[in-house]
Amino acid sequence: MPELPEVETVRRGLEPAMTGFVITHAHVNRPDLRWSFPERMAERLTNRRVLMLRRRSKFILADLSSQETLLIHLGMSGRILISGDPLGQFAHDHPAPEKHDHVVLEMENGARITFNDPRRFGAMDLIGTDRAETHALLHKLGPEPLGNQFDGPYLASALMGRNTPVKSALLDQRIVAGLGNIYVCEALFRAGISPMRRAGRISAKRAAGLVPIIREVLTDAIAAGGSSLRDFRQADGELGYFQHSFDVYGREGESCRRLDCRGTIRRKIQSGRSSFYCPLCQR
């Protein structure tokens, strides 16, 4: 499932083709994805101007001139692709329609925005912009890891007294929004913290030191266009490249990349997910 860097990469790709432009026609080609689409979705999108594109956790939010917001979640295999941008931002002409093109937005600038999702685990909804943060999928989310509310004192307080592994705590979207398995593994490696260490046993100083590392990992991943594993593509159809920079994720049995470490990367299943780590330099 795309994590924060992949979703942010898609949002940034969509921005020049959507922000400030009117959706001249919306095609909704089925009644649902993971859940049913809202009533009259095509009608409510058509002739609406996109005022702003923003991201909350792993969701893209498009604020519209109708004072509604289109909420988009990519799910496991969802992709949003742009074609026909007259400004030359993207290389692709309009392709022939594909079987899993479930929602297509025609923009006034000639761009076409296509949501393609073979497995249909994605989601879309329309909500009042002034009530967006109270949506069922958003209202329990913790602070953004790249935002000002996510700082050392906050994380130290959030981890205090927790008996769960720190890996599980950082994946808890109520503690910090948008982090997923890949980037938690990478951040814990850079911080030298074992994914099995109990969250409540991490000192306040060490927790505070983890905050800039998390931000650094996410920033590096966004700069690389995210990580392309299986289905992910950027909005212009290109692959992300951060997977080539993984220190631990997917590297089971390979040597630790720290020059002063002779460890071998291991994999352990935690709560049904694979944790990759170096047993020698992560404590």
Question: d(Cα 16, Cα 18) in Å, to the nearest integer?
Answer: 6
Active site residue 205: no
Assess contact for 140 and 114: CB atoms under 8 A.
Answer: no
Identity at 193, one-letter amino acid code = I
Active site residue 3: yes
Question: d(Cα 106, Cα 104) in Å, to the nearest integer?
Answer: 7
What is residue 198's DSSP assignment?
B
Residues 6+ apart with CB under 8 A from 148: none
Active site residue 140: no
Question: d(Cα 276, Cα 101) in Å, to the nearest integer?
Answer: 35
What is residue 96's DSSP assignment?
P
Assess contact for 70 and 123: CB atoms under 8 A.
Answer: no
Assess contact for 41 and 72: CB atoms under 8 A.
Answer: no
Assess contact for 178 and 147: CB atoms under 8 A.
Answer: no
Query: 252, 267, 273, 279: which is the annotated catalytic residue?
Result: 273
Query: 56, 58, 79, 190: which is the annotated catalytic residue?
Result: 58
Question: d(Cα 250, Cα 199) in Å, to the nearest integer?
Answer: 24
Query: 2, 5, 145, 165: which is the annotated catalytic residue?
Result: 2
The three-state secondary structure class of 263 is: coil
Q: Which residues are catalytic?
A: 2-3, 58, 273
